[in-house]
Structure 1
């Protein structure tokens, strides 16, 4: 025997848990012996000591046997059943005594004893399967290393998941703010467009009403606008005259009644006037040689009637309509002319009704 060699066993977590459970079980067994002896001694006399000692000793032995059986289910099954039976017997002795002894037999130790016995057995039932088998220190060290490795990986995964969740939450908040800002901007643009469209629509309606009531003569559209770099200060020609030489104005030769002037400038002015009337009426610009709609025909006849002063008659306007190359049957032209005259009559009637009010004012 080597005297210089010292032996000491490093306690394992499993051994520590079993030691604590063993101490608790032993204490509960001593309490059960004391309480059961106090209950059975008046009835059994000296035989109460071996009776209660055997019951609690067997109860402790069965608990220890469960530890020795380990995880072998087949071996541990009988011991578990016997331990449950002894637990029921040891807990039943003080419980039945309390039930049949009446109010005078109440004792705190007798109340706590069955509770402690059942609780101790439940603690063994819960803790023992989780302890596993008894292993060597080297095996336990390898297992602890693997567990630590798994724990480290799980912690890293949880940290990565937390970082990703934080990133997604921040991205979600930023997306919501950007979406709100974009929505607010689009709403402001739509509101501005709505206000502008409303004002333009009101102005367009007022302009259309003015154009319909007060048609400008063709001479207004025939006025040429100055061009930068080409304008020279000259006196404008009076209506019905043309400039000759150094500025002398003479009367222009009259054309056939009912026909517009034949100069290119005058024709361009007439085309501009016709396009403006079509825009006000909301119809495409009438073109010679194409079939006209009712709205286009009304625009053409209105233009031809007021292109000269005084306004043209039906026959003059019809001849000018044919000479300009517009397409339309005689019946359609007459029907459109009658509708145009009826509009003029209604306009004149409304103006005559308003004149007395103006005179009275």
Structure 2
């Protein structure tokens, strides 16, 4: 039986975490059956079936994902969790999706999981959340699935960044040098990080920026051709992360989203032609949920993408995918 014909549930690993709770809520809103999986049964949410599995226990992971159609991994640091969880998903005959912002984790997924996923006939889609996936969709929308550009620039504005405990833990763990694309190749980002300014739409306006690439560099360069790919983040939001007193996000609406506002801009230059695509919305953790759940739901449909390790923009029609999320939770420009 193919994934497209299957009524099997979707497993959410790391289900006690902040982002995972948005994912479970989104699955429930869409009427998709879910299973909450975590390392400690006592912290798992109520209202859905639960299973317990530690990262180091391959047999427990196999049992947790048995009978599932898709596994969505929300448990960071993904440098530690992505390969064990994805390998168990593949053994179970399930597709795999995660929300990593970590470049090294996304690279490992593409390098190590493509062949096993193809052999199992399932898709593996790393970095399908706000970082990685959203910029990849915007860039693919600009260039087309097989497009090329001389230069791609990603600029992200956050009015505040209230980090979760998982974000702080990942920051401590992720000490791998960051990569950019220069002369068509992935290379280490020059240090010190470049400073610049960028004018966003309101309410952000003109912002001081710092070069800080996330997993979008890996997802975009996976399938789009560009001689240069650089990414920048508002310096004030990086200051929030570096400040140990910055609190975690607090719910400020009925959906549990924080007050945080974001805008992400992808600018493509080919010769003298410059095109720009934007997406804006509320709460980078919350918006990852509709992104990954939209991907999971499309994996269950007839005509699901080919098997193997794929980026979000590579797996799906980027324009159609983005339209499905507008005008809520994304406003597109």
What's the TM-score bracket when you normalise by the shorter of the two chains?
under 0.3
TM-score of the aligned structures, taking structure 2 as reference length: 0.23
Q: Which has the higher contact order (CA 8 A, sep 6+)?
A: 2
Which protein is bigger by CA-based radius of gyration? 1
**More helix by percentage:** 1
